[in-house]
Each structure stands twice: as C-alpha cells, then as structure tokens.
A = this chain, B = another copy of it.
Amino acid sequence: MQNPLKIAVVGSGLVGSLLAIYLRKEGHTVHVFDRSPDIRKIQFSGRSINLAMSHRGWKALDTVGIGDEVRQISIPMDKRAIHVKDRISFQNYGREGESIYSISRGTLNRKMIDLAERAGAEFFFEQRIWDVTLSDATLHIGETERGEWKDLKYDMVFGADGAFSRIRHRMQRQSMFNYSQEFLNTGYKELNIPANADGSHKLDKNSFHIWPRGEYMLIALPNLDGSFTCTLFMPFEGENSFEKLTSHAEVVAFFEKNFPDSIDVIPELAEDFFKNPTSTLVTMKCYPWTYDDKIALVGDACHAIVPFYGQGMNAGFEDISVLYEMMQAYGDDWKKVFAEYQKSRKPNADAIAELSYRNFMEMSSKTADERFLLQKKIEKRFSEKYPDKWLPLYSRVTFSHRPYTEALALGDRQKAIMDKVMQLPDIERIWDSATVENEILSLLKS
C-alpha cells in the first residue's frame, strides 16, 4: 500500500474508471470527473464501435478481480465471418480456445463505473474541466470556458479524458512537448442489426462479421441482447463515400449492391444512416505523458489509435497494468513511477499505433491485390506447417502480453522475408512448393 493521496481522475470512460479502481485498492481518495452526464442514466450516443477485449484487457481486469464480472457481459468470438460475394468464409482467430470478446461500449462503461463506485471512488458528472495547473495539480472547473471557474486542488491528477484531452491540452502548451494528430480520410457510422423476435442473433453469434470491400467495409459485433452493433467504414469523399450517399434510396442501393446479405438484417438502414453521426478516425501521439509527480495521461489522452487492430481499449487497460507494476516497484516515489511508466509505455503505444495504421492501409488498398492475397496464402500455409517458426502477427498482438514493440519487430521481419519470397521467379506457380518453403526456412535462419 502507498501513502494515501487525494487523486483526481479526469474522464469516466473505460480507462479512467479502471484506474479509479486500481487507485482505490491502493487506499487513495479518488474523485472522477466527467463533462458528460452519467452514462448509466442516458441513452448511448449512436457513434460507438463495439469493443473486442483480448489478453491485455483481461489481464488488467483480472488483476483487480473484476474480469469475471465483465466476462458475463461479453460474447466470445473465436473467428472472423468474412462475407464475400455469395458466401461466408470462416477464419479462426487463434488456436483452439482462443477468442476475442465482443462487449458493447456503453454496457461496459456502465459496469466499470458501478465497479469503481463499489471500490469507493466518487464520481462527479457534468463537471467541465477547462484547464489544469500542472505544477500543483489544480483543476479549473466551470460552466463555460470564458465564465467563472472554481479551483480544486489535488495531490495528483490523471488525464483519462480521451483523444481531445483538456489535461493534455495544457501540457501541449509547454515547450518541448511533442504532439501530433492525424485524421484519416475515412470515417465511420454506427448501424444496427436487431435481435430476432425470440431474442436470438440473426447472424452467427460467435463471429466477428466483416464485409471487406477494399477502401470501405462493414463490420458487425454481437451484443448480449441478440442484436449486433454494425460499423460502416468508408471514405468521406470519392467514388464510394459518405458524401455520395445523400438519400434513402442511394443508401439502400449502395448496400444492396455491395453488402447484399446485410439488407435483410438491417431493417432501419437508411433511418439510422441519416440519424447517426459520421465520426472521424484520428491517430494522436504525444510526449511526455507526465509532469513531475503531479500529472499523468493514460489511454486515448496520450495515444489515440485507429480501431483496425481492435486494440484501443486493450492498450489503454495495459497502461494501467504497467502503471500498477511501477507503483509496486517504486512505492511512494511517484516521480519515478511516472518516469518509468511513460518510458515503458511510449514505444509500445507508438508500435500499436503503427500496427493499427498498417492494418487500415492493408485493408483499404491491398485486399483486392492478387499478389497480396497470394502472399497471405503462403504465410498461412507456412505458419500452419511450422507454427513455432511463424507466429501470426495477429496472435502476437492479441493473444499475448509481450510488448507491442516486439509484435511490430516481428511484423517487420516477416514482411522483409515475404518481400524476398514474392520476388522468387514464377512465384504464382510455385507458391506451395518445397522451394518456397525452404527459402522461407533459410531466410528465417539468416
């Protein structure tokens, strides 16, 4: 146990609530602030993508004994269900027993706040934090940015307030603060597949459904109530884009043409399309993440990533695992705790950002590329024959606690090998020959 402090957590999202639980277990007084109303009392926004919890997320939950409660509101997905033209092909995610878990963001967030309150954290909703004084961990709260503010002094402030963090905003205005935000030209929109009348799922329940179409795609993840939360990813502008779909008829025609088997299961398609917002996708990086022993950023507030590896929440939860390790190692020396936390996490946050962005690029530019598909086939064949020599990158990221940097290095190494393999003469013909297999084996040794 550490010496008890008075700590503010700004942001009552998933990572903020989890952090509150960890801090309470260490005996600190914890106040959690959020500018939004209590999510437990309102309808959720219609702009979410369902979460896919995997190893890193579960570890952070299990360490404080709340994994099982969360498992009860999750649905295992052991495979992708890939909706191609006229059929569905299934692809296991990992080995026997390895699954990722679908959870609705709203459901999980409500549960996490309940659990944090049960652990003794106090929540203050509809409290707008406009600024923070870094040197003495004082929050500045008020109705409006230009109006009157009230000051609340803490021993320490955590910024868990997401990609557009106000806490980081203040840190950004220091000298020597590195920062970048980069938006994709692709946005996303939430849609819905309701349950059958008997509460059952309209599509296979234990699959991550995906309709890959190159620069745009549709995904669907199961919910407990029999529904699926769907997300359409699509460029804002161009041939197939949000800007091109301006009427109910155009939306329906687009789905009929491109996702024909989705039409029957999304009854409110056009209504939801125009009711729900089109959201943006941003990669945000910054450094440092901490200020003295007073301020620290966690989750999206210091490393927002695009969702194409399903690791956003998992990476944020892993921040808390690492922070906790440092608290165990360095006790009340918070300067050291913060310094080692950011030093350990920053390269891993950069690595998962890069991996997520690469997945986006692969999906949007390469799925129609014959050579890319051939390469994937060669990798798959080799990996099945030599599972100990060729760990699929997805597994290293998803079903592992090894650092993301190692996954990125593994990916780079596999890519370098496959670049050489794809240059073998006549590769289209000889792709599943012993020649290719021996070439990979020899490249792996070099």
Residues of A within 8 A of B (CB): 146, 172, 175-183, 280
Contact = CB atoms under 8 A, between A and B. Distances in A.
B183 A181 contact: no
Given A176-B280, A180-B181, 8 more contacts: A175-B183, A175-B280, A176-B183, A177-B181, A178-B183, A179-B180, A180-B180, A180-B182
A424 to B, nearest CB: 23
A132 B310 CA distance: 38
A179 B179 contact: yes
Contacts of A176: 183, 280
Nearest to A173: B164
Contacts of A180: 179-182
Nearest to A236: B176
B181 A179 contact: yes
A268 B381 CA distance: 72
A349 B178 CA distance: 19
A183 B280 CA distance: 27
A181 B178 CA distance: 6
Nearest to A183: B176
Contacts of A175: 183, 280
Contacts of A172: 181
Nearest to A140: B146
A175 B179 CA distance: 16
Contacts of A280: 175-176
A311 to B, nearest CB: 22
A176 B172 CA distance: 18
Contacts of A182: 178, 180
A420 B175 CA distance: 41
17 contacts: A146-B146, A172-B181, A175-B183, A175-B280, A176-B183, A176-B280, A177-B181, A177-B183, A178-B181, A178-B182, A178-B183, A179-B179, A179-B180, A179-B181, A180-B180, A180-B181, A180-B182
A370 B74 CA distance: 60
Nearest to A181: B179
Contacts of A177: 181, 183
A436 to B, nearest CB: 28
Nearest to A169: B173
A182 B175 CA distance: 10
A57 to B, nearest CB: 28
A178 B175 CA distance: 20
Contacts of A178: 181-183
Nearest to A149: B146
Nearest to A178: B182
A280 to B, nearest CB: 5
A391 to B, nearest CB: 33
A183 B177 CA distance: 7
A146 B149 CA distance: 10
A202 to B, nearest CB: 33
Contacts of A183: 175-178
A172 B280 CA distance: 15
A98 to B, nearest CB: 37
Contacts of A146: 146
Nearest to A146: B146
Contacts of A179: 179-181
